Amino acid sequence: MLKNQHIVLFVLLFIINFTFSQSTTCRAITFSGAGDRGAWEVGVVMGILNVRDPEDYKWQFATGISAGSINAIGMSMFKVGDETSARDFLEKQWLDIKRDNVYVNWKDGPIDGLFFKSGLFDTTPLLNFLTGLVNVTSLLQSDRGFLIGATNIDTGDFDRFNKTDANITLGVVASSSVPLVFPMILKDGYNYCDGGVSYMTPITDTVRLCYDTGATDVIVDVILEGPLEPMENVSSMHTIDVLMRESSILTRNFHLKDIENVYMAFPNATLNIYTPGQKLPGYVLGFQYSAEMIKIGLNDGETQNIGNKSIR
């Protein structure tokens, strides 16, 4: 009898040991739509790298929407384990970028954009900027997975693009094309606008990518710009202020819905959520305060989710 108990105990220990030895972890990072707040997102990356062990920021996937797609493709041009080079690359891009690198007036001004184009401003400079920024060879050679998305205006669907897409740079421009402000982007026979019309952050897609690797533990760093700022009295607000407040509420609700969807589909996934710890300067399409926002993001990356920096 005692011998049989020993055998059973041995088998149980073997099963437990085998199970734990087979457990694997997948880490990923996802960037929300942010406009010029993409600079803050890069600051968060810098902060994370400052406080974590290298093993804890080996992101196997980088994903994003809108300006977040720019950060995602920049990160994905560097192999897993070379996050410091990706950080330095992205920091330089955001410090160098100016409004004229993103959009300019149409030849005949905003009236031309309002009545004769599909957006108020011309984003040809953004396509030129990204064509120079994106190294497709490095992207394809990197072992870091990559996914972005844009809203297909023709079908109403949210279309996803990965690194093998032959027109991936155009895909990033499509993902970043804010409705009304920027024109539709024609790609592969379809018209696209900002992916943020459908999802502010592709969190669920990111978690799914990790689980598809066979990983048992999935940890995603979620970089979210735009928390709802508390306000006691809005009665004195005028049109622009009200519009910005409503936009903030919509953004927050989008974020909450994205997170809710993840936990409904993948209840065991771990999300480390980062949001601005203070109001960011300027407005989302100003592209004037990158250095200041990087500094704020750096502090947020170093101080938020600090207890999760060594999850294993």
Query: Which of 244-253's residues contact partners 24+ apart within 8 Å by CB, and which partners?
Result: 251/200, 251/226, 252/226, 252/227, 252/228
- Whole-angstrom CA distances from 168 to 64, 86, 174, 225 are 13, 18, 10, 24
Is 194 labeled as catalytic in the residue annotation? Answer: yes
Distance CA 263, CA 171 (A): 28
> 239-265 vs 203-211: helix axis angle to the nearest 10?
20
Read off the amino acid at residue 262. Answer: V
Active-site annotation holder among 194, 221, 258, 300: 194
Q: Which structure tokens are listed for 248?
A: 């903030």
Distance CA 78, CA 142 (A): 6
Q: Which structure tokens are listed for 119?
A: 């957006």
Active-site annotation holder among 32, 69, 175, 176: 69
Beta strand pairing call for 145-152 and 217-223 = unpaired
Is 69 labeled as catalytic in the residue annotation? Answer: yes
Which residues are part of the catalytic machinery? 69, 194
